[in-house]
Structure 1
Amino acid sequence: MDFHYTFSALVAARALLAFAPLPDALKYSQQLSSPLTSYARLKEGVYLFSHGIDPYSGGLFRHSPLLLSAFTTLLPLKDPISKLLWTACDAAAAWSLVKIWRLRQRVGKSSRDGLIAALYLLNPYLFLPSLALSTSSLENTALLVAVAFACERRSSASILLLAILTHLSFSSIIYILPIFLLLTSSPVSNLASPRPFALDFKGLRKAVLPLVGEYFAYTTVLTAASTLVCGGSRAWVEKTWGSFFLLPDLTPNPGLWWYFFTEMFDHFRPFFLMVFSLHLLIYVLPITIKFQHDLLYATFLMAGVSATFKPYPTLSDPGLFLSLWSLFPETYSYLRHPIVTALIHLHGSLLLPLFNHLWLATGTGNANFFYASTLVFGIANGAGLIDAIWAGLATAIPVKDGDWDVGQE
């Protein structure tokens, strides 16, 4: 079947799901929306802003002023329009994923195009947050479109989207280095033939410095625009970007941060906030250096780091990581424990809603129940990330008779 028919059918199915009646448990699920991506909080912020009240004066609204201004002036925040917008964003993300695959394979089209689009549009980790209208779906779309532009060497469009993405979700700064280097290299697979980066330090500096300058120019303009939207107040900085460092809202989520800091003594809190924040950043340089021969793969691994360690994750974060895995079929035969990792993921994804229900709905459990399920889910995400790193390295190291041989060029 032609890909365009397949893609149209997938988008139509996704649109039907969007307009199907949803239970409130799904709309307000803590696994699908975080305090930074909640649609209900976004609606409240837009309502306050449209009535002349600063939404950042309280402690609930933590979305970017870019979303605040967009949904106040350009798009009315009404459910039918929002459902269409989120569906369109999912379609754009799936199309971008297919585009990245084609550029990596250097083909105009392939037999896997429909499968790759389906793995995004039918991934429950992705379409369930989108049905709940979590803004994490918009962030995933911005990232995938930015990566697609980077693979096409359209630097200005890619950097602009990357600047917008970091405004929406500050933890996305971990993608800056691999995407900047991807703009100066090729998305074609080089996992089987690792080699040093094509440019020396002087050439790399000449190639990357203009990109860095352009990124900071876009970021400065977006920051100034956000400040103007808020009437000249900079309170939005602490409420949005500051949330990733200060963790002010301890609403439960599928991540590893919230319960740890719920139990933390106040005088230890600043130290461990620094430790957790730096832990998210320390992977950027080692992964980028190790996979300098395939920076698209490095970007994929950073999605796995984000899904495992970011402060306010939703299911869409591991969903993006799993969907990106469809771009790298050459690594599948080198995965060490794919069945075990998949089963732990399945186990964790079933425990999350079950233990959340036992805790908050029936009252037969407590916070330890839900945090235990988030630990299992975190182990699953970590196991997937380790498996992906191992497979990416082992692709260049053939195995013969159970022994490791020297990698071949």
Structure 2
Amino acid sequence: MDSKFFKLLLLGGAVRFYFCRTPLAPMIGNRVEFATPLNSHKRMQEGIFLLQNGIDPYQGDLVHESPLILSALSGLFQKYPHFLPIFYIILDVCTAALLYAMSLRFVKQKQEQQDVERKEYAKDTEELQFNPLDKFDIPELVIVAYLFNPLTVMSCIGMTSTVISNLFLAFFFYCLVKGLLLPCLLVLAFETVRSFYPIVLIAPLLLVFSRNSIRRGVAISVLFIVSCLLVAIANYFVLNSWNFLDGTLGFIFYFRDLQPNIGLFWYFFTEMFEHFRTMFLITFQLNATVLYLVPLSIKLRKEPLLLATVLVALMAVFRAYPSLGDVGFYLALLPLWKRCWKFMAHGFVVFTFFLVTLSMMGALWHLWIYAGSANANFYFGATLAFSTGQIFLITDLLFAHVKREFCLFNGQKILIDGEEARIVLK
């Protein structure tokens, strides 16, 4: 880690500190694109106040943060509220540092794997291979993509608990690449009990640590279940009640709050007939968790970190209460797959989707809620287009990876009947 790394961290922290002192910060904390019922700073404040006064925060339907987080942050919220922006900035900077360290280790591993496989590579594939400069370029791109992405910056200055989630996910990625099983299990169990959807990350964890051993995989799965139970018991001792399970996991699964967000749940559950609710709940939650898990795990069994990246991206699209902070996190992981960019064909389309839809969300929200000259269809249309752009990005990355793997071993120019062949997605 050189001086440039620390300069980037300081600059990223300075950018966040500057915007925390502007009127933009409280406005972002109230925007539905960033603050959801799960990560809202105001709801966390309310939960800490209730907990400090001996009232069960989960008796109502307002607080949905885990008791351990509420208890851990209660002293800071109650005694030093003026230092809260700095606290969130430090957490976000730590997330960037973990992603940088993870990237360094990842590039080193890919270069070692490449040295073993190079004899099998085709002759014209040098540009598809990791080169010595990548150990500097890729980690720098990752840290820049996280620290200076407007989505992560605004999520931080809005003091949403997505900052905490991003820190835990970054630590999970770091431990996954470093081969640290126990920390991986503990942080994944904590995030699973806290927000449900990270349970799908057990798949890349098993691919890394089971080493094609079914017995070892079963043992790790049992350890994960035990870790989840221990985290749940720790939450119980904070509250002396199991109400938090319904207030966190139950609230997410049953989707009780229909507040609009950038996701796909709220509009459907607002418009549909009540007797279809159970069917849609099961369908939407399956789509957000296990539907893509098995096929992606089979296809990406040799690339567990790419599998983890794709699963985090799919979580950001299909979870019940997504926010733009979740999107910013997985966008920072895309530079890891720099060697696939050559085959990504929809970059301009995705960029246009993101730019136009993110610009329209604020305007359409104002027209709907304040001006009264639009309705929910307008705002949902923008969020639906935004989700479509994310799906384009994820599928483009997956297909680019498949094409790169094929070209590495078969060459970039393949002739069939005297004409250059093309790999086409059907």
Normalised to the residue count of structure 1, the TM-score between the two structures is 0.89
**64, 67, 75: which is aligned to 1:65?**
67
Match of 1:275, as an amino acid? Answer: T
Aligned to 1:22: 24
Higher helix share: 2
**234, 243, 263: which is aligned to 2:251?**
243
Q: How does 1:66-85 map onto structure 2 within 5 Å?
A: 66-73=68-75, 76=78, 78-85=80-87
**126, 133, 142: which is aligned to 2:159?**
133
Match of 2:383, as an amino acid? Answer: T
Instruction: Give distance in 2, aligned partners of 1:249 and 1:77.
Output: 31
**93, 97, 100: which is aligned to 1:98?**
100
Instruction: Give distance in 1, aligned partners of 2:185 and 2:385.
Output: 36
Aligned to 2:217: 208
Match of 2:399, as an amino acid? Answer: W
Which region of structure 1 is more displaced relative to structure 2, 357-366 or 236-245?
Answer: 357-366
Go from structure 1 to structure 2 and tell me whether the alpha carbon gap of 1:99 and 1:250 turns closer, same or farther (over 3 Å shift). Answer: same
Q: CA deviation at 1:13?
A: 2.8
The size of the alignment, in residue pairs, is: 388
Instruction: Answer whether contact 1:61 1:239 (CA < 8 A) is retained.
Output: yes
Q: Does 1:114 align with 2:132?
A: no
Q: How does 1:261-300 map onto structure 2 within 5 Å?
A: 261-280=269-288, 281-300=290-309
Aligned to 1:40: 42
Q: Does 1:228 align with 2:231?
A: no
Match of 1:282, as an amino acid? Answer: L
Which sections of structure 1, spanning at least 5 residues, go unmatched?
A: 185-198
Match of 1:235, as an amino acid? Answer: N
Q: Does 1:154 align with 2:180?
A: yes
Stretches of 4+ moved more than 6 A in 1? none
Q: Which has the larger radius of gyration?
A: 2
Which sections of structure 2, spanning at least 5 residues, go unmatched?
A: 110-131, 414-418
Match of 1:304, as an amino acid? Answer: A
Instruction: Answer whether contact 1:397 1:405 (CA < 8 A) is retained.
Output: no
Instruction: Answer whether contact 2:149 2:328 (CA < 8 A) is retained.
Output: yes
Match of 2:204, as an amino acid? Answer: P
Instruction: Give distance in 1, aligned partners of 2:282 and 2:26.
Output: 36
SS of 2:333's equivalent?
A: helix
Match of 1:110, as an amino acid? Answer: F
Q: How does 1:312-391 map onto structure 2 within 5 Å?
A: 312-391=321-400
Go from structure 1 to structure 2 and tell me whether the alpha carbon gap of 1:72 and 1:344 turns closer, same or farther (over 3 Å shift). Answer: same
Instruction: Answer whether contact 1:171 1:310 (CA < 8 A) is retained.
Output: yes
Match of 2:92, as an amino acid? Answer: D
Instruction: Give distance in 2, aligned partners of 1:97 and 1:344.
Output: 26
Aligned to 2:268: 260
Instruction: Give distance in 1, aligned partners of 2:301 and 2:398.
Output: 13
Instruction: Answer whether contact 2:76 2:84 (CA < 8 A) is retained.
Output: no
RMSD of the alignment, in Å? 2.1
Aligned to 1:403: 421
